[in-house]
Amino acid sequence: MTLNDQTRIIDLWVQFWDGNEMAFSQLYCLCFDDLLAYGRRVGGDNEMVEDLIQDLFLKLYQKKIILEDNTKLRSFLFRALKNLIYNQLLRNAKLQSLPDYDFAFDLDYTIDEQLSWMHDLGLSDEVHHILKGLTEHQKEIIYLRFIHEMSFEEISEIMKINTQSARNLLFRSMEKIRKNLHQLLFHFLLMCFLYTLYSNLL
């Protein structure tokens, strides 16, 4: 999502509050793909996530939820969807609670979408091996920071950690990647890895 899209999201939300219902429909369309992609990685299948996104926007429409800061709308939507998926998984498993990150964050799926050229170079297995060494929290923060270009404030809202913890987590994640890369290929593979994460934004 571009910076213009992020600004557009806030603008559409304000228009909706001013009585423009068409703006709400446009807001839904603008946010849907990013929310669906995130929801699939959090642990939901396509059909479930699509239903939950619709439920989320229905609640927004019916209740006209008031945000203290409209600039936090995007992180609110991501966090709300994550909570809905978590609760749905609880119901499906008939449990009272799930261990933290009992469901895996699928960053591999993101890489697979961008890695066709890396298969030809024989580098995709190397990248997947590195990803497997990351914790679910580390995968999620890399996804939010590099794919969605979220600020640390937005990330802290979604992951329910403070901003300094978010910064530290990202630093440790990138350090872990660096240490697991072969020294001779470090610079090249790191460029490939970051290019893969950024390429969908181009």
SS (H, E, C) 36-74: HHHHHHHCCCHHHHHHHHHHHHHHHHHHCCCCCCHHHHH
Nearest to 41 by CA among 111, 133, 93: 111
| Mean pLDDT of the chain, nearest integer | 81
Within a domain: 102: no
Residues 140 and 193 placed together within one structural domain of the fold: yes
| Cα(155)–Cα(19) distance, integer angstroms | 30
pTM value surpassing 0.85: no
Within a domain: 100: no
Look at residue 7 and tell me whether its pLDDT is greater than 80.
Answer: yes
Residues 112 and 196 placed together within one structural domain of the fold: yes
Look at residue 49 and tell me whether its pLDDT is greater than 70.
Answer: yes
Within a domain: 88: yes
Residues 88 and 138 placed together within one structural domain of the fold: no
CATH assignment at residue 24: 1.10.1740
Number of domains in the chain: 2
Distances in Å between the Cα of 87 and the Cα atoms of 82, 91, 101, 120, 191 are 9, 6, 13, 41, 38
Residues 18 and 74 placed together within one structural domain of the fold: yes
Q: Which range among 34-43, 94-103, 171-180 has the greatest average pLDDT?
A: 34-43
Within a domain: 18: yes
Structural domain containing residue 88: 3-93
Q: pLDDT tens-digit profile of 82-131?
A: 999 988 888 877 655 555 544 567 665 555 555 554 555 555 666 777 77
Residues 124 and 172 placed together within one structural domain of the fold: yes
Which among 61, 93, 125 is the end of a domain? 93
Give the pLDDT mean for 140-162: 92
Within a domain: 123: yes
Which among 66, 93, 120 is the end of a domain? 93
pLDDT at 63: 83
Per-state percent for the chain, helix, strand, coil, to nearest 5: 80, 0, 20
Within a domain: 98: no
